[in-house]
Amino acid sequence: MKKTGCAVIGYGGMGGWHTRYMLKSDVCELKGIYDINPEKSALAESNGIRAYSSREELLSDPSIELVTVATPNDSHEEIAIAAMKAGKNVISEKPVTVSLESLDRMIAVSKQTGKLFTVHQNRRWDCDYRMMKEAYRSGLMGRIFGVESRIQGSRGIPGDWRGIKNRGGGMIYDWGIHLIDQMLGIINDRKIEAVYCRCEHITNSEVDDGFKLDLFFEGGLVGHIEVGTHHFYALPRFYMTGTSGSAVINDWRDRCEVIHCTDSPEAQVKPVITAAGMTKTMAPRSEDTMKTVYIERPDSDVHDFYRNYTKAIRGEAVQYVTHAQMRRDMAVMEAAFKSDRLSRKISFKDDFGEDPIAP
């Protein structure tokens, strides 16, 4: 099968990842890169990759069918639109852009030109996320009422463009978009009714260097997302709880542990004696009323993203990350910023057309 001719605009950290992938890909053939910084072009050449001397030169190469945009967040719209207008299909790095208005302009050009356009939501292939999706579906925990997703680092916000507001910096755009997209993939059977978000500014007053976001879904289910950059102990990566069980993934290298209740209410509760008194309500359950099962790490290959997209370009598949999903993710981010700005819960109109079920 003929490989798809590909190019990458922006040869930094993530652009480097895309080119390394394309060089060994079964579906892509890397034609070259363009970077605004001549040092990056020289680096690409030293790695045996053609560096086009201008974006126009890259976009006028007829052997390129697919352009991946891996530049800072504020520049995705302009570059993606130029690429689609030049007849290229486009993958934008995440976040696809910095506002719903901007995203709608990009989608409009995709429709006008007939070129495909998507965003690289590569963390849909993370094993921890896939196990949590499975736990949610499993029915082991009764009625689920809470899903928590956390990423807590200790190194602060990076000192590059990620700390600058008008470059699309901040952790909501950086990690938040992954965790929001995943949350909507796990809880894929109900609509969001409201959003509440508190941003942190521990070392950066311009952009959020962490945040706590609650998504209130129909039926009383709350999805809680946290990103932090100053945590020297990290809380579990995922936690889910229902009326008869809980699931946890402590670390993204772990499998998912699900504990579920086999005998409720317990016949006999042994109270716990604490220094200040006793409690039955909070006493741990006896082991014979609980069963632990494990959801094993699935096989997952992030390169299926490109396999799907190159097929979609040939009209043989539907792109995994759809425009409706992109719009819904972006609307959640906008609602999060608004909630933080107004210091209150924001109601959310969840009408994004097609069924937002993530692969």
List residues near ligand NAD by CB under 6 A: 9-15, 34-37, 40, 70-73, 75, 93-94, 120, 122, 160, 174
Asked if residues 5 and 64 have their Cβ atoms less than 8 Å apart, the reply is: yes
CB of 174 to ligand NAD, least distance (A): 6
Pairwise CA distance, residues 32 & 45, whole Å: 9
Sheet with 210-217: list strands edge to edge: 290-295, 256-261, 245-249, 238-242, 144-152, 222-228, 210-217, 192-200, 346-347
CB of 163 to ligand NAD, least distance (A): 12
CB of 358 to ligand NAD, least distance (A): 15
Pairwise CA distance, residues 94 & 297, whole Å: 25
Helix axes 127-138, 177-186, angle to 10 degrees: 30
CB of 92 to ligand NAD, least distance (A): 8
CB of 34 to ligand NAD, least distance (A): 6
Which of 175, 217 has the CB closer to ligand NAD? Answer: 175
Encoded tokens for 134:
């499975």
Pairwise CA distance, residues 185 & 193, whole Å: 16
Which of 216, 305 has the CB closer to ligand NAD? Answer: 305
Encoded tokens for 324:
């409706």
Which residue has the CB atom at the shortest distance from ligand NAD? 12
CB of 224 to ligand NAD, least distance (A): 22
CB of 13 to ligand NAD, least distance (A): 4
Which of 41, 110 has the CB closer to ligand NAD? Answer: 41
Which of 40, 328 has the CB closer to ligand NAD? Answer: 40
Which of 170, 356 has the CB closer to ligand NAD? Answer: 170
Distances, alpha carbon 305 to alpha carbons 103, 153, 185, 226, 243, in Å: 20, 27, 15, 26, 35
CB of 188 to ligand NAD, least distance (A): 21
CB of 33 to ligand NAD, least distance (A): 9
Which of 10, 223 has the CB closer to ligand NAD? Answer: 10
Q: For CA atoms 20, 21, 23, 24, give the dihedral sign.
A: positive
Among 53, 4, 58, 12, residue whose Cα is nearest residue 30: 4
Which of 123, 230 has the CB closer to ligand NAD? Answer: 123
CB of 74 to ligand NAD, least distance (A): 9
Which of 4, 68 has the CB closer to ligand NAD? Answer: 68
Classify strands 222-228 and 256-261 as parallel, antiparallel or unpaired: unpaired
Burial environment of residue 29 by CB neighbours within 10 A (0 to 12, 13 to 18, 19 or more)? middle
Which of 25, 246 has the CB closer to ligand NAD? Answer: 25
Which of 15, 242 has the CB closer to ligand NAD? Answer: 15
